[in-house]
Amino acid sequence: MIPLSQPQWQTETWQQQLSGAFRSLDSLLAALQLDRAQAPYPLDCEPGFPLRVPQAFVARMEPGNWFDPLLLQVLPQARENEPSPGYSLDPLEEARSNPVPGLIHKYRGRVLLIASPACAVHCRYCFRRHFPYEDNQPARADWQRAIDYIAAREDISEVILSGGDPLALNDQRLKELVLTISEIPHVERLRVHSRLPVVLPDRLSSSCIAALSESRLQTVMVIHCNHPNEIDADLAARLGELRQAGVTLLNQTVLLTAVNNQPDTLCRLSKKLFNVGVLPYYLHVLDRVQGSAHFELSDDVARALHVQMMETLPGYLVPKLVREDPAIGYKVPL
């Protein structure tokens, strides 16, 4: 175990940092100087959706604080195992818009490609925690099926690389994938939905930025940041390079009890994002997935928070408050 006072991970490659991510409760708690016996809420020591969090993200947590807003997003709690009525395993029913392995086509003109089923961090509230990833591990043959699907439909103008986390692919695969997509004439835009830049900023290496930005496609990156403490100088510098390369930067946030359900936190997040060149895009209410009920806020509370943001911020810093509905082909405003 590497004590945070000697952050050896800072000199490692992103792949080394990824494989060196915390995967055990004991090592994570030790790094944060937390004593398991003192936990103010019951923990889950053997979660079905395993603990995973890179050191670079843990370094932004406050040692000794069980209620750190970054820690709460990754720490498995026993309440995840309580059955909650109205919460399902596949709340978005993505299985039904999954025409070929690794591809979800639910919204008109856009397809979502599960470029990599892996994630660098396991967010406890994640709606994909029960997604059949094993069936969506795109092998090269599956890429081809997904590419053929897109190539055969001229109304598809945007391809969204998602996951899991698409930036878990190595730069070579990423480059090949972007190139292949850019060879489909009717595709105009490439979008990347990734939490990796936030949890492991070194992932945005110059070759990664080149792979994403050097095709003929217009490129948009949607990062996933839930709390202002997630933005540090390292992330700011990498995002600056992405912007220099002509990539449009947006952010999506999930509203989470005890993490960001305060108007001041959300307003600080918007301002801090803008300071690093990112526009707030979506503020999602939680998808009702089994295991995440303790993060939920009522719709009334969500709307009230959103109104407080509108009262405080310039319009362009107020994200759209939305919910995903399995039957509707767009993110539905609350």
Ligand X SMILES: *Cc1c(COP(=O)(O)O)cnc(C)c1O
What is d(CA 266, CA 263) in angstroms, rounded to the nearest whole number?
Answer: 5
Q: Which is nearer to ligand X, 36 or 108 (CB)?
A: 108
The least distance separating ligand SF4 from the CB of residue 180, rounded to whole angstroms, comes to 23
Q: Which of residues 152-191 bind ligand X (CB under 6 A)?
A: 160
Report the amino acid identity of residue 248. Answer: T
Q: Which two tokens stand for residue 157?
A: 């103008």
Among 107, 133, 149, 274, which residue sits at the site for ligand X (rule: CB under 6 A)?
Answer: 107
Helix (H, G, I), strand (E, B) or coil at 85: coil
Interatomic CA distance for residues 76 and 124, integer angstroms? 7
Reference 228, options 264, 197, 196; nearest CA is 264
CA distances from 133 to 95, 128, 148, 290 (A): 11, 9, 21, 17
Contacted by 119, from ligand X, ligand SF4, none: CB < 5 to 8 Å by type:
ligand SF4
Q: Which stretch binds ligand X (CB under 6 A): 62-70, 253-261, 292-300, 323-331?
A: 323-331
Distance CA 146, CA 86 (A): 33
Is residue 121 part of the contact set for ligand SF4 (CB under 6 A)?
A: yes
Pick the binder of ligand SF4 from 106, 122, 191, 306 (CB under 6 A): 122
C-beta of residue 119 within 8 angstroms of C-beta of residue 49: no
Q: Is 112 in the site for ligand X (CB under 6 A)?
A: yes
Tally of helices (H runs) and strands (E runs) in the chain: 11, 9
- Told to check if 156 binds ligand SF4 by CB under 6 A, we report no
The residue among 201 and 319 lying less far from ligand X, judged by its C-beta, is: 319
Using the rule CB under 6 A, is 104 a contact of ligand X?
A: yes
Choose among ligand SF4, ligand X, none what residue 128 binds, the Cβ cut-off being 5 to 8 Å by kind. Answer: ligand SF4
Q: Which residues have a Cβ under 8 Å from the Cβ of 16 and sit 6 or more positions away?
A: 9
| Binders of ligand SF4 in range 187-216 (CB under 6 A) | 195
- Decide: is 168 part of the binding site for ligand SF4 (CB under 6 A): no
Q: Which of 70, 119, 242, 269 binds ligand SF4 (CB under 6 A)?
A: 119
Among 52, 60, 110, 227, binds ligand X (CB under 6 A): 110
